[in-house]
Structure 1
Amino acid sequence: MVRQTSAASPRAAAVGSVLSPRMKKEGYDPAWGAMVNGMSSPAGMLLPPSNTFIVYSLVSGTSIGALFMAGVGPGLVWTIICLLMVALYARKHPELKSSDKRPTLKQAFTIFLKAIPALLMIFIVIGGILLGWFTATESAVIAVLYSLVLGLIQRTLPVKELPKIVLEAAKVTGIIMLLIGMSGILGWVLAYARVPQLVTEGLLGFSSNPTVILLIIMIILLIAGTVMDPTPAILIFTPIFLPVVTQLGVDPIHFGAMMVYNMCLGNVSPPIGNNLFVAARVANVRIEALIGRLWPFFWALCLGLLVVTFIEPLSIWLPTTLGLMK
């Protein structure tokens, strides 16, 4: 049976496999380096293109283009918090100095030229969606075809591996489609049983203060995110909580950004924290060593959740400015 992994885990594996040996060579604590990798990689779930936002769009019926742009602000909040925490660590450990070796201007330019074909995919996908050339679903097909052609041209994708890759993609897609199908059934059952209405009445009966209601919802989602992958959590909780927040006047796009940020936190929260396990395995350290070092990062990112939740322009300013939402 194939277990679905969060979108952040492959990033932790890819970045960690490159940076962990270098950080160890530079004298950094391997466990601390793995923790930084694990805590920072979920930012990719917020910054476009994000498959987590695509799932939320399917459930909520909101614009995927607007959601992509709404994730930029929260994604930068996550990134800035991680940068500040690393900077604080560096100030407390002045003995850590980066290598004096620097690439020459010619080497840097050569590396940049080699990276252009891969970087173009981001602009093709996001630009195509924003310009209305294709939908989010169609953009995924274009991204796959572009990656396939580029991998074959650059010979980074062995032809003999294609059947295995296609089979693995089919398994993961089957799991996601099954979850989406079941979420449709679950949504119908919830609507028939008036669960969203009952939850709305219960929460509003507890308090009429939007701040209190949003805090309760964020706490519930954070607890759920510690034991669930982002996709099933979004599929299950969006139909329940979206009617509540819309009645409070919260924009569905803003709520999507809040929810995905929350799922990012759940992805690095003990006791499960899939991303932490991946980062620890790549760095060849024990998971216990990461947990002992992550709490300052975690609480700082929790503060970021409050910022994203209660400062609405962080999410809706960019999509509104680009004309993707009113």
Structure 2
Amino acid sequence: MEVISIIVLFASFFTLLLMKVPVAYSIGISTTLSLLLNIDKMPGLTTIAQRMTTGIDSFALLAIPFFVLAGEIMKQGGIANRLINFAKSLVASLPGGLAYVNVLASMLFGAISGSAVAAASAIGSIMTDRMEKEGYPRALSASVNITSSTTGLLIPPSNILIVYALASGGTASVAALFIAGYLPGILLGFAIMGYIAFIAISKGYSKGKRSTLKEVWTYFRKAFFSLLLLVVVVGGIVAGIFTATEASVIAVLYAAILSLIYGDMKVKDFPSILLTSGKTTSVVMFLICTSMAMSWLFSFEGIPEMISTFLLESLNNKFAIFLAINIILLIIGTFMDMTPAVLIFTPIFLPVVTTLGMHPVHFGIVIVLNLCIGICTPPVGTLLFVGSGVANVSVTKVIKSLLPFLAIMIAVLMLISFIPEISMFLPNLFEL
């Protein structure tokens, strides 16, 4: 019966996805169908409802709606322009300077807002036209914007790292994950810049005007309080002054006050911002509800133990197992959203990698980077569609330009997977 339940679970899930049923509904329906093969209707439906409810009964998850709200306020509050101008003053004079500006601004805005989609939308809408005027193809601009926006999911504060902390069952703290994401996020950003340098030099893209020290200082001063939010939020969490949830509330207050002071946002704008944030949060929370129910069903059916035993017995080399898990996660990321993927597959793979000596915090960075690549690729590809839409370029044109960037992201993934010090240096330094 267990084998039949598993077959029904996966067959119904993939069938629903192919029918373009939203991911959250696909997860919930397939989980319910599978469970009803083993349990009578009323107890089964009650169990699913209970698991969905208890799945979001977590204080740590309160951080997500507040970070979503903070990101939405920053997107509309003029912060993106200040970060772009500061980044431009630093690197615009280099070959491919405007593309570097795109990467740096995405890293900064993504880190501050905690949202890759917000970074792609806010930065891409400004930079694509600027880059086209300097001779950059719009498809290339979109590719730079799409891939660099993923750095904000590694550099804290990051909502997906909070979700992973929940899925890890407390073996990885939010503070440790936040501090662990810095070096991998920066490494990914610099790797993308390296490829941009190659393109810029080989195709002779023009350099921008070199900024004087006075201009750099002026733009830094204007962006200072935006950048300070990172120090306040992450520094407060690492120092133990407040929790991630409390930090998210502080981020909302800080961003709101700053945006009102800048004058780019008015009090009358808050209702629409709250509505947009509420819609985003409801989607995320419903995904978490159904994903936690499916994760429980996996445990009920003994799937994690089956996969763990299969991998450990069939692949006796830990590097081969790590590589196999990476390949599986890369495939999963192409058709499943990050939140359900983290919640469903963390309980499956975490016991395997920890058995082989990988730290739960290290694996958190690995799984998130895997799924970052997934949201840049079809058929789901949230960032791919957002970045293409913002740049007003067809997805097919963007994909051709995107492929080398995806190869670079995979190369960085391999480095981070097999060199744990990249992720664990800062957590070990701060004894987290």
Question: Is this a same-fold pair by TM over 0.5?
Answer: yes
Is contact 2:23-2:336 (8 Å) kept? no
Per-residue CA distance 1:262-313 (angstroms, 9 max, x = gap): 1111111233322122222222222211111122221122111111101011
Is contact 1:246-1:252 (8 Å) kept? yes
Whichever residue aligns with residue 190 of structure 1, its letter is F
Is contact 1:52-1:260 (8 Å) kept? yes
Question: Where does residue 90 of structure 1 map in the other structure?
Answer: 200
How many Å apart are 1:133 and its aligned residue?
A: 0.8
Question: Where does residue 196 of structure 1 map in the other structure?
Answer: 304
Q: Equivalences for 1:42-81 in 2 at 5 Å?
A: 42-60=150-168, 61=170, 62-81=172-191
Is 1:161 aligned to 2:255, yes or no?
no
Q: Could you say what secondary structure the match of 2:163 adopts?
A: helix
Quickly say closer, same or farther: Cα 1:315–1:273, change in 2 above 3 A. Answer: same
Cα distance between partner residues in 2 of 1:302 and 1:285? 24
How many Å apart are 1:85 and its aligned residue?
A: 0.5
Is contact 2:338-2:371 (8 Å) kept? yes
Gaps of 5+ in 1: none
User: Percent identical across equivalent pairs?
Assistant: 45
Quickly say closer, same or farther: Cα 1:291–1:125, change in 2 above 3 A. Answer: same
Whichever residue aligns with residue 18 of structure 1, its letter is I
Is contact 1:2-1:171 (8 Å) kept? no
Is 1:179 aligned to 2:279, yes or no?
no
Quickly say closer, same or farther: Cα 1:149–1:39, change in 2 above 3 A. Answer: same
Cα distance between partner residues in 1 of 2:390 and 2:285? 29
Question: Where does residue 10 of structure 1 map in the other structure?
Answer: 118
Is contact 2:292-2:344 (8 Å) kept? no
Q: Could you say what secondary structure the match of 2:335 adopts?
A: coil
Whichever residue aligns with residue 179 of structure 2, its letter is M
Once the two structures are overlaid, the 10-residue window that deviates more, 153-162 or 177-186, is: 177-186
Q: Could you say what secondary structure the match of 1:226 adopts?
A: helix
How many Å apart are 1:129 and its aligned residue?
A: 0.1
Quickly say closer, same or farther: Cα 1:79–1:157, change in 2 above 3 A. Answer: same
Cα distance between partner residues in 2 of 1:175 and 1:288? 27
Q: Could you say what secondary structure the match of 1:177 adopts?
A: helix
How many equivalent residue pairs? 322
How many Å apart are 1:123 and its aligned residue?
A: 0.8
Which residue among 238, 241, 253 is the counterpart of 1:133?
241
Is contact 2:179-2:238 (8 Å) kept? no
Per-residue CA distance 1:219-249 (angstroms, 9 max, x = gap): 1111111112211111111111111111112
Cα distance between partner residues in 2 of 1:105 and 1:252? 43
Is 1:258 aligned to 2:258, yes or no?
no
Is 1:144 aligned to 2:269, yes or no?
no
How many Å apart are 1:2 and its aligned residue?
A: 10
Is contact 2:143-2:405 (8 Å) kept? no
Cα distance between partner residues in 2 of 1:182 and 1:287? 30
Q: Report the TM-score, using the length of structure 2 for normalisation.
A: 0.71
Is contact 1:7-1:52 (8 Å) kept? no
Question: Where does residue 400 of structure 2 map in the other structure?
Answer: 292
Whichever residue aligns with residue 242 of structure 1, its letter is L
Cα distance between partner residues in 2 of 1:255 and 1:3? 24
Cα distance between partner residues in 1 of 2:130 and 2:144? 14
Whichever residue aligns with residue 232 of structure 1, its letter is P
